[in-house]
C-alpha cells in the first residue's frame, strides 16, 4: 500500500509534469518563431533541424523590412488603433454617464437598442457595411477601418456599471456644490472608474491591432493597409516561398510591440480580457 502522503506527492509531481509539458507545447509556437527568426537564411530547415542555426543573425528582419513596407503598415495600424481608442474612450464615457446618471424619455429602449451591437457581431455585417463605406467615400482609408468601432455598446455598458458604483453621497455633494454635468463627470464619476477604462482600452487595442477581415475588405493600397494585411500579403510574395526564417521575422515584427506590452502588463491584460467577456 502506498501511504496517503506519498500518493499526494506523486500526484503533485505528475500534475507538475503535465502542466510543464502542455505549457511548453502551447508555447512552442512562439518560441520556435522567435528562435528561427534569428537563424541565417543560408541554412535551410530540414528534418530534425528546425531550431537554431550555427549563428544568430538579425538579417531576416532587415530583409523582411526591405521586401515590404512594414514601416507604413505600422503607421497605419497605429493610426487605426489610436483613432478607435480615442473615439471609444470619449463616446463610452459620455454614453455611460448618460445611462448611469440621467433620466430621460426612452432610456431603457435606447439602451437595449445599443446592446444590439453585442448581439449581431460586426463580422456578420461585412457586406452591407462595405457598401456603406463605399457610399461615404471612405474606401481605402484608415478612417474606413476605424469608423464602425467609434461607438461601443460593450464599453458603454461597462462604463455605466462603473459609474453606478460611484457612491451616491459623493455625487449629491457635488451637486450641492453646484457642479455642472461635466464637472460631475470629470471630478466625481471618472476618477474611480479609471481601472474600467484601462481594462477596456487594453482589450480594444489588442482586438483592433489584430483585426484582419474588415481591413481586408475596406483597404486596397498601402495608404490604408494595417500590419495584419501587410503580413498576409508578405507571406504570399513569390520570392518568400518556404523561407521560414524570413516569415518568422515578419511575423515577430507584427507581434512584437503588443507582445512586449503584454509581457510587462500581464496582470492588467488578463483582467482586461476577463472583463471583455463579461457581457
Partner 1 sequence: MSVATRSVSRRKAPNWLPYLLISPTLIIVLVFTAWPTVQAIYMSFFRQYLNIAKFRTPTFIGLRNYKELFTSPDFLQVLKNTTIYVLGTVPASIVLAFLFALLVNRAVKGIGLARLGFFYPTILPMVSAATIWMFFFTPDYGLFNTFLETFGYHGPENWLGNPHLALLAVMIVAIWKNAGYLMIFYLAGLQNLPEDVFEAASLDGASWWTQLWKIAFPLLRRTTLFVSTIAIIDAFQVVDHIFVMTQGGPSGASTVLLYYLWQVRFEDLNVGLASALTVVLIIIMLSITVTNFVLSEREGA
Residues numbered 137-156 forming contacts with partner 1, rule: CB under 8 A: 147-153, 156
User: Smallest distance from the beta carbon of 73 to partner 1, in angstroms?
Assistant: 12
CA separation for the pair 235, 251 (Å, rounded): 9
Stretch that binds partner 1, among 60-68, 78-86, 191-199, 262-270 (CB under 8 A): 262-270
- Residue of 220, 232, 237, 264 interacting with partner 1 (CB under 8 A): 232
Q: Which residues contact 268 (CB under 8 A, 6 or more apart)?
A: 198, 199, 202
DSSP secondary structure string for all residues of 237-270: -TTTTT-HHHHHHHHHHHHHHHHHHHHHTHHHHH
Stretch that binds partner 1, among 9-17, 59-67, 137-145, 190-198 (CB under 8 A): 9-17
Provide the 8-state DSSP code for 187. Answer: I
* Residue 45 or 201 having the CB closest to partner 1: 45
Stretch that binds partner 1, among 52-60, 66-74, 190-198, 231-239 (CB under 8 A): 231-239
Using DSSP's 3-state secondary structure scheme, residue 179 falls into coil
Q: Which residues does residue 251 pair with via DSSP β-bridges, in sequence order?
A: none
User: Smallest distance from the beta carbon of 60 to partner 1, in angstroms?
Assistant: 14
- Residue of 10, 62, 167, 181 interacting with partner 1 (CB under 8 A): 181
* Residue 76 or 129 having the CB closest to partner 1: 129
- Residue of 217, 222, 257, 268 interacting with partner 1 (CB under 8 A): 217
Our CA dihedral for 124, 130, 131, 137, rounded to 10 degrees, sits at 150
CA separation for the pair 94, 100 (Å, rounded): 10
Give 29: exposed, middle or buried? Use CB within 10 Å, 0-12, 13-18, 19+.
Answer: exposed
Q: Report 95-124 residues binding partner 1 (CB under 8 A).
A: 95, 97-99, 101-104, 107, 110, 113-114, 116-124
CA separation for the pair 174, 187 (Å, rounded): 9
Q: Report 185-214 residues binding partner 1 (CB under 8 A).
A: 206, 209-213
What x-and-dash track marks residues 51-80 binding partner 1 by CB under 8 A? ------------------------------
Amino acid at each position: 500500500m502506498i501511504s496517503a502522503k506519498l500518493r499526494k506527492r506523486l500526484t503533485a509531481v505528475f500534475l507538475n509534469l503535465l502542466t510543464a509539458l502542455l505549457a511548453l507545447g502551447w508555447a512552442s509556437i512562439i518560441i520556435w518563431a522567435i528562435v528561427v527568426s534569428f537563424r541565417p537564411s543560408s541554412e535551410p530547415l530540414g528534418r530534425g533541424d528546425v531550431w537554431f542555426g550555427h549563428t544568430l543573425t538579425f538579417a531576416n528582419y532587415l530583409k523582411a523590412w526591405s521586401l515590404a513596407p512594414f514601416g507604413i503598415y505600422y503607421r497605419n495600424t497605429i493610426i487605426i488603433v489610436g483613432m478607435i481608442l480615442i473615439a471609444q474612450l470619449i463616446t463610452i464615457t459620455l454614453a455611460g454617464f448618460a445611462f448611469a446618471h440621467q433620466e430621460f424619455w426612452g432610456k431603457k429602449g435606447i439602451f437595449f437598442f445599443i446592446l444590439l451591437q453585442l448581439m449581431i457581431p460586426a463580422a456578420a455585417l461585412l457586406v452591407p457595411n462595405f457598401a456603406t463605406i463605399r457610399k461615404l467615400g471612405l474606401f481605402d482609408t484608415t478612417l474606413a477601418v476605424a469608423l464602425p468601432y467609434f461607438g461601443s455598446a460593450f464599453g458603454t455598458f461597462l462604463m455605466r456599471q462603473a459609474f453606478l458604483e460611484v457612491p451616491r453621497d459623493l455625487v449629491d455633494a457635488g451637486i450641492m456644490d453646484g457642479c455642472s454635468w461635466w464637472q460631475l463627470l470629470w471630478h466625481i464619476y471618472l476618477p474611480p472608474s479609471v481601472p474600467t477604462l484601462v481594462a477596456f482600452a487594453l482589450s480594444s487595442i489588442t482586438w483592433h491591432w489584430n483585426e484582419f477581415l474588415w481591413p481586408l475588405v475596406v483597404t486596397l493600397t498601402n495608404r490604408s493597409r494595417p500590419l495584419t494585411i501587410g503580413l498576409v500579403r508578405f507571406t504570399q510574395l513569390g520570392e518568400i516561398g518556404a523561407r521560414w526564417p524570413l516569415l518568422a521575422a515578419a511575423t515577430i515584427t507584427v507581434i512584437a510591440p503588443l507582445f512586449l506590452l503584454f509581457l510587462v502588463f500581464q496582470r492588467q491584460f488578463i483582467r482586461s480580457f476577463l472583463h471583455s467577456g463579461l457581457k
